[in-house]
Amino acid sequence: MSQSVTEQPSVIYLKDYQTPAFLVESTALRFELEEEQALVRSQVQYTRNPDSADRLRPLILDGHESLELHRLSIDGEVLNEQDYRRQGEQLIISELPDSFVLECVTRIEPQNNTALEGLYKSDGMFCTQCEAEGFRRITFYQDRPDVMAVFETTVVADKQSYPVLLSNGNNVDSGEEDDGRHWVRWQDPFPKPAYLFALVAGNLEFIEDQYTTASGRDVVLRIFAEAKDLDKLDHAMLSLKRSMQWDEQVYGREYDLDIFMVVAVDFFNMGAMENKGLNIFNTSCVLAHPETTVDTGFQRVEGVVGHEYFHNWSGNRVTCRDWFQLSLKEGFTVFRDAEFSADMNSRTVKRIEDVTLLRTAQFAEDSGPMAHAVRPASFIEISNFYTLTVYEKGAEIVRMLHTLLGEHKFRQGSDLYFKRHDGQAVTTDDFVQAMADVSGRDMTRFKLWYSQAGTPRVAVSGEYDAASQRYTLHMRQSCSPTPEMETKQPFLIPVAMGLLDQHGRDITLASGNTTEVLELVSTEQSFVFENIPVEPVPSLLRGFSAPVKLSFPYDQEQLVFLMQHDSDGFNRWDAAQQLAVSILQKLITDYQQGSPLVLDNALIDAYRLVMSDVSLDKAMVAKVLSLPSEAYLSELSDEIDVDAIYQVRKFVRQTLAKALESEFLSLYQSNCSGDSYSPDAASVARRSLKNLALSYLMATERTEYLALARDQFAQADNMTDSQAALSLVAHSVHEQAADELLEQFYQRWQNESLVVNQWLAIQAANTREAGLQRVEKLLTHPAYDASNPNKIRSLVAVFCAQNLPNFHNLDGSGYRFLADQIIVLNKQNPQIASRLLTPLTRWKQYSEARQSLMKAELERIGNSGDLSKDVYEVLSKSLA
């Protein structure tokens, strides 16, 4: 697992891709699961790849160094040590016939697998995570996505401890042995790469439902969890059935096996995994109950269940040729799940949330040392590329195709893609080609989105000539250098736009439409609109039609005008954001110069206007009334001034709260309802607005609102209201009340692991002084478990990403703390260690003093001994 910094891990290049030397006809696996070990026997039928010109290429199998090889035989003949070579992560066998069965027995220790890749134990149950390269921790195999085979899996284990034995496909046989052990055999008829293999063995219970597909196939649906969580599975089941129906209606895709299973596990590095017929989920992405789960949690479950289900076509039936193509499945599937969520809930609000994530975290990634193209050209450790760029920016690329082609052609393109490539492992070029073929468009320039990293900037200006009634938009695009890419070619940027007249109405454009998609394809380009009777206000990048930073020199009045009138809901919100950003940025400068802070009335007036606009959906109002986050303000800064951003944002919140106190109070009161909890969109919207109002009221620091929050906490019948009140009190100046409520909350929920995670996160985010000491104390609390990624994320990651004043303390203690955590995790769980590094990788963005402190900690990690490939890659790129 470990690799010292001196013997540098090798870089893998897309340009070096070679087809596999051998193809696999079938893979039969037998797992003997025990407490101290698992024995894995694989029997694999190989044939030489007819594609491969070189008939002498050896069979190269991947195998992690932790694999203990017990036996290797070819067509029944045992191989001796001179018949093969084990070299690093590979096992090489030469001089092979064109067709043969390789049998291999390995011994592994799932109970000691803390990396949570391959076969491991989560809370007493066996489970797997094989994407991207976990299968090589189970047996020797060509662990690459373009090697696809049908799998048969037999699982043997003690019946009492592991009554449930699952794998991919259909249960075809089972039996008992005399020694209290039992076995189940599963067959998956669909050829798949090893990364989609899954196994689960445990003491699980399940809920069951059924779904009949459009063509009449009856599918059994089962969701498994530990008995204590059985009451938290209904929402996932409902989401699953909705996903199945949505994929039939919107993409014409039906499910293809007789059973679909989901298993909830507590120890999981990521959100969830789309293993064929047997999805494995982090409990945080599948369990939901009104008493224990907040509204955003319900929405997350719906989105992730949809995402993993949609992978059955976009990922499993058609998969990736190699890991450079990861966005082929992830970008497309994120786009699909986003559209599903948009159809199930408020479309505009979903878009606002996704764009917010993109603009804060993805844009930051794209301008940092780990910036990479959506289809990277090289990597050291593929786990490091499960990123916002591959997922979210990848989804934006698919969305742009949808915008350029329109709904109908896009669907034809996706139909062609699935038909042409069903059962194949393909590339992002193949995906775009299907879109090119149905539309007759040349996509050469468009494909630069996959190969060029960095966020393009688009500077726009408008010019109106009253005499000729002509309006012209001048656009100029540019993209800053990113690692290994100094200059960029111009992108094809679809700019959806409209023009508003003096009353705020859309002007009908020459096409007959009120929204048009302009295609910016060169560095500079102008777009002319004829017959425009008055100087318009342009509404640009409607629906955020491209992942770019677009600027237009709006003045405050124009932004307020767009906020009120734009027919595009996303742009109404965005106008409010731009107004708030410009006001906050000016105050940040004032703060830095020591000038007194005075809030511009424009923002107060704009807020008042929005609060009184009854035409707006409540969820929208809550979004518009939320100030840009510290993370977004940081991303927009050339040099991040942590203290200025924090103080100014706090000042603006407080000033708004005091200026609009009575409005916020009536907003709060009018959105308190006596109805019992329901997670429907309207109720979610009402609660989000109510709790937003409460947060402003609390910002006034007046004790009567503390009483209001305490009442809400005491009376809430759902976690959304209870947690909102708790977090407001916990983060308030009322320290004694904070301690009381936190204690009460813990006493009530200490046996609900996911609720305890929220309790940890609320405390980790508390910006009050001595934040690090509180976090360090929690590390030793019985609620914490340093081997569980969800706990690490709730406490350590939240502290470093959300508690800016404490993490960035100028005494360097926050940075030192994070480095210490990473040094331990590097050995224990490299994937998590590498992710935790993110805040430190941005060191160049801060002041001199912070830069040197952060850099010193990065160097200390580098000198701490053997580095995993995961940590090595991020560290070396950050220090380059």
Q: Which residues are part of the catalytic machinery?
A: 308
Task: Give residues in contact with Zn ion (CB under 5 A).
Answer: 330, 333
Q: Is the peptide bond before 764 cis (omega within 30 degrees of 0)?
A: no
Picking from 651, 613, 379, 638, the residue whose alpha carbon sits closest to that of residue 504 is: 613
Q: In whole angstroms, how close is the CB of 833 to ligand ARG at the nearest point?
A: 13
The Cα–Cα gap between 771 and 793 comes to: 16
Contact between 273 and ligand ARG per CB under 6 A: yes
State the minimum distance, in angstroms, from the CB of residue 809 to Zn ion.
Answer: 37
What minimum distance in Å lies between the beta carbon of 337 and Zn ion? 8
Among 103, 143, 146, 274, binds ligand ARG (CB under 6 A): 274
C-beta separation of 545 from 495 below 8 A: yes
Tell me whether residue 319 or residue 757 sits nearer to Zn ion (CB atom).
319
Q: Could you say which of Zn ion, ligand ARG, none residue 778 binds, taking C-beta under 5 to 8 angstroms by partner kind?
A: none
Which of 184/272 has CB closer to Zn ion?
A: 272
Select 506 or 870, whichever has its Cβ closest to ligand ARG.
Answer: 870
The residue sitting closest to ligand ARG, measured at its beta carbon, is 386
Could you give the CA distance from residue 808 to residue 872 in angstroms, rounded to a whole number? 23
Backbone angles phi, psi at 481, to 5 degrees: -60, 150
Residues in region 181-240 near ligand ARG by CB under 6 A: none
Question: From the CB of 129, what's the least distance to ligand ARG, in Å?
Answer: 6
**Nearest of 251, 385, 240 to residue 318 by alpha carbon:** 251
Q: Beta strand 38-48 with 85-87: parallel, antiparallel or unpaired?
A: unpaired
Question: Cα(251)–Cα(271) distance, rounded to whole angstroms?
Answer: 24
Q: Are 189 and 205 in contact (CB under 8 A)?
A: no
Residue of 140, 340, 386, 607 that binds ligand ARG (CB under 6 A): 386
Considering CB distances under 5 to 8 angstroms, the limit depending on partner class, which of ligand ARG, Zn ion, none binds residue 757?
none
Measure CA of the first residue to CA of the last residue in the chain; give whole Å: 24
CA 311 – CA 196 distance, rounded (Å): 11
Burial class (CB in 10 A: 0-12, 13-18, 19+), 114: middle
Measured CA distances, 212 to 147, 275, 307 (Å): 32, 21, 20
Binding range to ligand ARG, per CB under 6 A, among 270-278, 736-744, 788-796, 869-877: 270-278
Comparison of 137 and 351: residue with beta carbon closer to ligand ARG: 137
Q: In the complex, what is the shortest distance from the CB of residue 382 to ligand ARG, in angstroms, rounded to a whole number?
A: 8
Which residue's CB is nearer to ligand ARG, number 132 or number 157? 132
- DSSP per-residue codes, 555-596: -HHHHHHHHHH-SSHHHHHHHHHHHHHHHHHHHHHHHHTTPP
Nearer to ligand ARG, 272 or 458 (CB): 272
Q: By three-state DSSP, how is residue 364 classified?
A: helix
Binding to ligand ARG by residue 566, rule CB under 6 A?
no
Asked whether the beta carbons of 481 and 543 are under 8 A apart, the reply is: no
Residue nearer to Zn ion on the CB measure, 332 or 759: 332
Q: Residue 225 is inside which H or E element, if any? A: strand 218-225
State which of positions 311-370 bind ligand ARG (CB under 6 A).
330
- Which region among 96-104, 268-276, 478-486, 738-746 touches ligand ARG (by CB under 6 A)? 268-276
Residues 155 to 184 in contact with ligand ARG, rule: CB under 6 A: none
Of 142 and 383, CB closest to ligand ARG: 383
Choose the contact partner of 236 out of Zn ion, ligand ARG, none; CB within 5 to 8 A by kind: none
Q: What sign for the dihedral angle of Cα 48, 54, 59, 63? A: negative
Q: Return the structure tokens found at 37.
A: 């070990």
Unique residue bearing structure tokens 């998956």: 188
- Choices 31-39, 272-280, 522-530, 862-870 (CB under 6 A): range interacting with ligand ARG: 272-280
Phi/psi for 692 (5° steps) reads -65, -45
Backbone angles phi, psi at 838, to 5 degrees: -40, -50
269 binds, among Zn ion, ligand ARG, none (CB under 5 to 8 A by kind): ligand ARG
Q: Which does 131 bind (CB under 5 to 8 A by kind): Zn ion, ligand ARG, none?
A: ligand ARG
d(CA 726, CA 1): 42
Among positions 296-315, residues that touch ligand ARG (CB under 6 A) are 307-308
| Contact with ligand ARG (CB under 6 A) among 269, 427, 455, 655 | 269
Q: What does 361 bind: ligand ARG, Zn ion, none (CB cut-off 5 to 8 Å by kind)? A: none
Shortest approach of ligand ARG to residue 652 CB, angstroms?
37
Q: Tell me the number of residues near ligand ARG by CB under 6 A.
A: 14
Give the up-direction half-sphere exposure of residue 326: CA atoms within 13 A in the CB hemisphere: 27
| Residue 270 binds: one of ligand ARG, Zn ion, none (C-beta under 5 to 8 A by kind) | ligand ARG
CA 195 to chain centroid, in Å, comes to 19
143 lies in the binding site for ligand ARG (CB under 6 A):
no
Would you give the binding string for ligand ARG spanning residues 112-141, x where CB under 6 A is met?
-----------------x-xx---------
Decide whether 274 or 354 has the Cβ nearer to ligand ARG.
Answer: 274
Residue nearer to ligand ARG on the CB measure, 386 or 705: 386
Distance CA 802, CA 733 (A): 18
- Which entry of ligand ARG, Zn ion, none binds 339, CB below 5 to 8 A by partner kind? none
Three-class DSSP category at 852: helix
The answer to the question of residue 270 lying near ligand ARG (CB under 6 A) is yes
Alpha-carbon span 554 to 581, nearest angstrom: 13
Question: Please, what is the minimum distance in Å from the beta carbon of residue 123 to Zn ion?
Answer: 24
Give whole-number Cα distances, 365 to 362, 393, 453, 482, in Å: 5, 11, 10, 11
- When computed from its CA atoms, the radius of gyration of the chain, rounded to whole angstroms, is 28
In what helix (H) or strand (E) does residue 500 lie, and over which residues does it extend?
strand 493-500
Which region among 228-236, 265-273, 371-379, 702-710 touches ligand ARG (by CB under 6 A)? 265-273
Nearer to ligand ARG, 46 or 335 (CB): 335
Q: Among residues 106, 292, 325, 383, which is the contact residue for ligand ARG, using CB under 6 A?
A: 383
Whole-number Å distance between alpha carbons of 206 and 223: 5
Q: Is 434 in the site for ligand ARG (CB under 6 A)?
A: no
Tell me which residues in 785-844 interact with ligand ARG (CB under 6 A).
831
- Contacting positions for ligand ARG (CB under 6 A): 129, 131-132, 269-270, 272-274, 307-308, 330, 383, 386, 831
